[in-house]
Structure 1
Amino acid sequence: MPIISTFYGIIIQMYWDDHAPPHFHAVYAEDEVVIEIRTLGILRGKMSRRGLALVLEWAQEHREELMEDWELCTQHQSPKKISPLL
């Protein structure tokens, strides 16, 4: 699964040709969540409050880039890297 960003120990990934709705995976220590890009709602998983807040802040800033990467992945193309949360 391609890694599209990493920050503060959080890894953001997307699968190639994954199922709808458009989403990304965030892994932080032993926790993992799947976040819908359009609503930033949690589709499944759990994460610490601090980790989830960082992921959602990052996703809010990069929603358009996440959708572009989702489209690339649905076409079996490598997603582009997205800047980390600073």
Structure 2
Amino acid sequence: MPVVSAFYGLIISLYYRDNKRHHKPHIHVWYQDSEAVLSVPEGELIEGSLPNSKMKLVLAWMEIHKDELLADWKLAADGQQIFKIDPLK
């Protein structure tokens, strides 16, 4: 599971060839014992949960980097190497 970005205790990943279970572009986000799956680029919660303050940070980051996330999704869905995305600063 490649890590796309990490900031403020959040780890954001894309799985290679992970387009069968959720059937749409998405990211996996971990924070401590919480895990959430969010659609890209909408930021809709598909599965799991995060603390509200951390969810707001992830959604802001997704808005800034939506084009890069979609490009990485396409690469990962095809089993290709993805690119790191700058963390939220």
Range class of TM-score, shorter chain: over 0.9
1:65 to 65, 68, 76: 68
Partner of 2:47: 44
- Partner AA of 1:4 in structure 2: V
SS in 2 for 1:55: helix
- Mark the runs of 5 or more structure 1 residues left unpaired by the alignment: none
TM-score by length of 2: 0.93
Runs of 5+ in structure 2 lacking a partner? Answer: none
| Match in the other structure for 1:18 | 18
Q: How many residues align?
A: 86
Q: Secondary structure at the match of 1:67?
A: helix
Find runs of 4+ consecutive structure 1 residues off by over 2 angstroms.
Answer: none
* Aligned residues with identical type, % of pairs: 37
1:27 aligns with 2:39: no
Match of 2:2 in 1: 2
Deviation at 1:28, TM superposition (A): 0.6
RMSD of aligned alpha carbons: 0.7
TM-aligned CA deviation for residue 83 of structure 1: 0.2
How far apart, CA to CA, are the structure 2 residues paired with 1:61 and 1:48? Answer: 20
Please say if residues 13 and 29 of structure 2, whose CA atoms lie closer than 8 Å, have aligned partners that are also in contact.
yes
For normalisation by structure 1, the TM-score amounts to: 0.97
| 2:29–2:36 contact (8 Å) kept in structure 1 | yes
